C-alpha cells in the first residue's frame, strides 16, 4: 500500500495523467505539514521547466531558507538534474522518491551533498510510469532531453 507521505504526490501524478500530461507528481512538506503539491505540466503549459518538483516549489511560493531547511520533497519518480539542482539551491535536506526503476535521475548528486534520499519502490508509482513510458515514449524522451 502506498505510504501516506507519498499519497499526495501520487495523486498529483494521477491528476497530471487525467489532464493528458506526464504522470509525475510531487509534494513539499515542512515540519511534517504539506505546503504544496505539483505535477509535470510540459503538455498542459507547453513548459520545459515545469517538472513536478519545480511546479511544486513554484506553488509553495517564496519561502525563507529556514523553511526549506525543514522541508522534505516527495516525488513519484527519481528527480532529474534540473529538479535536483533546485533541491540543492534551496538546501532541502530530504528527498523521498516513489520509484527509480523506470528512471534514475541525479540521486548521486543529492547524496554527494549530504541529502537524505529515501527510495520507496512503490508499485503504484512504478506501474503509472511504466504504462506512460510504454504508451508515450516520444513525450517521455522529450521530457528528459533525449529526443
- Residues noted as catalytic: 53
73 three-class SS: strand
Q: Minimum distance between the CB of residue 24 and a copy of itself, rounded to whole angstroms?
A: 14
Residue 114 touches a copy of itself, criterion: CB under 8 A: no
Q: Which residue has the cell 549530504?
A: 114
Residue 80 touches a copy of itself, criterion: CB under 8 A: yes
**Contacts for 17-22 with beta carbons within 8 Å, 24 or more apart?**
17/128, 17/132, 19/43, 19/44, 20/44, 22/132, 22/136, 22/139, 22/140, 22/143
Residue 89 touches a copy of itself, criterion: CB under 8 A: yes
Residue 117 touches a copy of itself, criterion: CB under 8 A: no
Residue 35 touches a copy of itself, criterion: CB under 8 A: no
What is the rounded CA–CA span in Å between residue 12 and residue 10? 5
Q: Which residues are near a copy of itself by CB under 8 A?
A: 42, 46-49, 54, 57-58, 60-65, 68, 80-86, 88-91, 106, 109, 142, 144-147
Amino acid at each position: 500500500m502506498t505510504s501516506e507521505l507519498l499519497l499526495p504526490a501520487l495523486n498529483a501524478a494521477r491528476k497530471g495523467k487525467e489532464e493528458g500530461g506526464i504522470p509525475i507528481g510531487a509534494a513539499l512538506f515542512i515540519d511534517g505539514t504539506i505546503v504544496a503539491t505539483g505535477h509535470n505540466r510540459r503538455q498542459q503549459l507547453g513548459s520545459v521547466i515545469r517538472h513536478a518538483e519545480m511546479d511544486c516549489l513554484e506553488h509553495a511560493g517564496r519561502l525563507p531558507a529556514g523553511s526549506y531547511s525543514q522541508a522534505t520533497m516527495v516525488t513519484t519518480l527519481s528527480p532529474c538534474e534540473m529538479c535536483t539542482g533546485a533541491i540543492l539551491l534551496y538546501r532541502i535536506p530530504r528527498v523521498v522518491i516513489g520509484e527509480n526503476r523506470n528512471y534514475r535521475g541525479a540521486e548521486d548528486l543529492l547524496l554527494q551533498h549530504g541529502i537524505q534520499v529515501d527510495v520507496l519502490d512503490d508499485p503504484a508509482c512504478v506501474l503509472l510510469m511504466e504504462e506512460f513510458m510504454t504508451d508515450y515514449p516520444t513525450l517521455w524522451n522529450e521530457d528528459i532531453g533525449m529526443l
